Amino acid sequence: MKKVNKSLRQAQTDNNNQTEKQQKLKMKLLEGKTALITGASKGIGRKIAEKFAEQGANVAFTYLSSVEKGEALEQELQSFGTKVKGYRSDASKFAEAEQLINDVVAEFGTIDIVVNNAGITKDGLLMRMSEENWDDVININLKSVFNVTKAASKVMMKARKGVFINMSSVVGVTGNAGQANYAASKAGIIGFTKSVAKELGSRNIRANVVAPGFIRTEMTEVLDPAVVAGWEKDIPLKRAGETEDIANVCVFLASDMSAYVTGQTLSVCGGML
């Protein structure tokens, strides 16, 4: 009888272990986490917001000029069943960035993940580039990362955990003729992120960079197909990237799957680098 009871107990234990494993498999990678994504009304930012919500994250996001797209995204993401809120905010302005973080914490309770994605291009050869075009790109692409990271890091330091994912570009690594301002801003993001990773690592706060290559977005749709085909020919994987390719990498970096990854630049470029 004792042997039978022991066998029954063992079977019950095995069943419980199996159920626990199945529950873990069903859990989404970002379940219960709160993420802030800047510049999420379109393109790469929009897909990141979508993937994060799909993986169980509560999502706060910002938009600026694309008000209708921002409001539409808020409604769309709510279908995933997590908490979602869009904020019209200019991250390149220090005071607005601080207010944004305060508003998100007041609404969501905390911030676990920040994706600094807001960015613009104002291309032109150096000799023709205006001071205004230089300043606009540096402020929106680089200063915004400083503003949001500084404000959000205070929240994360108190919680002794957090993740920053900063969007750079392969151009920030290689440079590109006609994009001195853009390349400088994206290279600055890499150096900034590596420094933040070293400063905040002891508080269990990670910071990494994603450097996309040629990715299909609304901006690339207006390009001459022949030009696009020429660029794709020079990419080892022989295709342009999709916004989903970037978003999937961001999910990995935001999740506990990358718990020992910090201070790194991950190029998602089909082998261009």
User: Which residues are known to be catalytic?
Assistant: 182
* Residue whose pair of structure tokens reads 């205006």 in the numeric block: 130
Q: In angstroms, rounded to a whole number, what is the distance separating the alpha carbons of residues 186 and 10?
A: 57
Task: Let me know: does 262 contact 256? Beta carbons within 8 Å.
Answer: no
Distance CA 110, CA 194 (A): 24
The sign of the torsion formed by the CA atoms of 155, 102, 40, 74 equals positive
Q: Which residue has the tokens 């998602």?
A: 268
